[in-house]
Amino acid sequence: MSLTFKKQHDFGIIEFDQDDSKVNLLTAENIKRLDVLLDEVKVKKDISALLIVSKKKDVFIAGADIKEIEDITDPLDGQAKAKAGQDVLNKLEDLPMPTIAVIDGVALGGGCELLLACKFRMATCNSKVRIGLPEVNLGFVPGFGGTWRLPRLVGFSEGLTMILTGKPISGNKALKIGLVDRIVTEKGLDQHILDFMADVHRGKKLKNRFPRKKKKGFLGFLDHSLIGQAIVVSQARKNVLKTTKGFYPAPLRAIDLIKETFYMTNRRKVMDMESAAFGKLAVTDISKNCVKVFYLSEEYKKLTCEGADDIVPQSIDKCAVLGAGIMGGGIAQLFSAKNIWVRLKDINLDAVAKGFQAASKVFHSATKRRRLTKAQATLKMAHITGTLDYSGFKNVNLVIEAVVENMDLKKKVFKELSEVTGKDTILATNTSALSVTEMASQTKDPSKVIGIHFFNPVHRMPLVEVITTPQTSKETIVTTLKLIKQLGKTPILVKDSCGFIVNRILLAYINEAGRLLEECGGMERIDKIMTDFGMPMGPLLLSDEVGLDVGVKVLHILEQGLGERFKAVDIFEKVYAKGLLGKKSGSGFYIHGKKRVPNEKIFGMLKVHGSGELNANECRQRLVYVMINEAAQCLEEKLVDKSSAIDAGMIFGTGFPPFRGGLLRYADSVGIENIIASLEYFAKELHADRFKPCDYLLKLRETGSSFFN
């Protein structure tokens, strides 16, 4: 039984311990069971308090059951499901005796809403304690009373922020804002609970309870006055529109709900408003796609190597990074942030110093945002040591090479690495597009060679492409996947091939943007078409961010490996030749000053050979469908095992809009038949083979299937 009641001394305990699961969820079944238990508790005269506890390690209640929400197709059904949860939590809130939630792990979504309905909350110091309402990230609003109870408990602006960011907070932060009443050590928890209950019964001011003082000054004005709250709401709306560009309705609806209900006292009415909003949002395509992306993220974060269940990964605590440039400095920082020792090698001291500066800058910004204390940052930074030679390389578990993108140089350093490292050391490359197999051929043991392709900036980008060659051993793959998880990143497994997956698809898109620019001029217009589609930035601004030198170099490699369709368009070659490298040189397609403006010089280099007209719909189709065709070709070549790997790569590696579900989910929503028809049209009209639908797409049409069905 997932939920049980027992009596101990003079108090009752409801214990969550979901059958056959590592976590507790507020499933429909558990809600029904809780309802029955609460009815029983309500009439027990011999209970002086009720505790809600979890038997799971590091988990209080992880949330509602997302699968049940995914199945909702009718807003009224969604509303009824939310109402069922609300009714039970209202019953919990109305119990006559003190109710205390004991939180020793994650309490998210419905789990957080349950603890909000208790009269008291105590949390342990367990670092796994995370409390929050992440619903807006799944495209809906909290539906079990959270939009009302949280702001009323922790204050208007604090509650609004927690609901709009969806970010869970630690136990300490929860104590600080009054979301929990007491923090206790995990050791001696039973005694702490007894002490807490005794204090509750004595009715004395709770020891260690953070005084919920009214905020004073300007913060108090913002929190407690109607004008202040109006300012908070207006600012929150602006921030939401800036970050979501209006693509996600849930945060805006959450703002309205909180604003409208904060002072309302008719609980039934408030709950009806919340459940109706939940029902409407939960059935939208946006929400369904966000839920799919949530599953995608969970799936790839836990990625394993097939057929390697019994292989024990090597432990990694000492690494080396070769090349202290943009990527090397970033990788060294990431390792040291996770307390892995790093030797950072370059060819001169200035270069090593730059790597240190880059790492230090990231730590500095973490201290400014109070993610780390200065002492912690210093301690982490001390994990990096610089070197100009291979001293210390004998003892490292893994080396990651991040020297410039040149095969001769990479082959040379792999040969050297093979000589100077131990026989168990994994040799990895961060190459963007070059053959890992060729680098491995220079080593004594190619089974230890793998590609670990981080994205720039390393500390921010969640994706890592793990590139395997036919010789890479399962042990090397298993160890690498474990390391990526240790680093908090999301891996996808890709077979060694020119440009792998993400750069290959992305460069097809960027090159197409170059062609459109040559046809009709106007980078801002082209970029806007794609930001209107939901991309975080347009393709030409993106190429400025990446650097024209990097982009053109990768295009050359792709052209060599994959043929004519990757030939860099003239405008890219010209801009690169003029040294307009993008952001790093101050200008590229744009001038990157205080305010970013289009670079007039580009217009002088363009021979616009179209009408100058731009059909936004066609333009978007060309840019997106060229990616879909390339992605299908990658599946045809079996570079990844399934379509979801490509969607994970594009969402977590390029920011492809999550509300569209991923590149290939988007393709399915448009329809394979429609995509092929458009590709054939472009191939004919533009006399362009790159648009010829690849065999994989044609086979999908033939068999009446799609990427995900």
The contact set with ligand NAD (CB under 6 A) reads 322-328, 345-347, 351, 402-405, 409, 413, 430-432, 455-456, 546, 550
147 vs 256: CA distance, rounded Å: 10
81 vs 181: CA distance, rounded Å: 30
The answer to whether 453 is a known catalytic residue is: yes
The residue (of 64 and 546) whose beta carbon lies closer to ligand NAD is: 546
Tell me the Cα Rg of the chain.
Answer: 28
Instruction: Output DSSP code: residue 94.
Output: T
Tokens of 253: 């609806």
The residue (of 76 and 347) whose beta carbon lies closer to ligand NAD is: 347
201 vs 195: CA distance, rounded Å: 10
The residue (of 313 and 582) whose beta carbon lies closer to ligand NAD is: 582
Where do we find the tokens 């390339």? 630
186 vs 171: CA distance, rounded Å: 12
The residue (of 88 and 554) whose beta carbon lies closer to ligand NAD is: 554
Of 9, 192, 201, 453, catalytic: 453
396 vs 317: CA distance, rounded Å: 8
The residue (of 325 and 521) whose beta carbon lies closer to ligand NAD is: 325
Q: Are 64 and 86 in contact (CB under 8 A)?
A: no
Task: Spell out a b/e string for 631-650, using b for 16 or more CB atoms within 10 Å of the CB, else e.
Answer: bbbbbeeebbeebbbbbbbb
Distances (CA, A) of 673 to 533, 662, 667: 21, 18, 10
Distances (CA, A) of 637 to 37, 436, 462, 498: 56, 17, 25, 12
Tokens of 520: 């009709």
Where do we find the tokens 């993610």? 371
Give min distance, CB of 439 to ligand NAD, in A.
Answer: 10
Instruction: Please name which of 423, 417, 424, 382 lies closest in space to residue 401, comparing C-alpha atoms.
Output: 417
The residue (of 183 and 384) whose beta carbon lies closer to ligand NAD is: 384
449 vs 152: CA distance, rounded Å: 56
Q: How far apart are the first and last CA of the chain?
A: 36
The residue (of 324 and 359) whose beta carbon lies closer to ligand NAD is: 324
The residue (of 139 and 328) whose beta carbon lies closer to ligand NAD is: 328
Q: Are 121 and 196 in contact (CB under 8 A)?
A: no
Give min distance, CB of 449 to ligand NAD, in A.
Answer: 15
Give min distance, CB of 324 to ligand NAD, in A.
Answer: 5
Instruction: Please name which of 515, 517, 542, 521 lies closest in space to residue 531, comparing C-alpha atoms.
Output: 542
Give min distance, CB of 626 to ligand NAD, in A.
Answer: 22
Give catalytic residue positions: 453
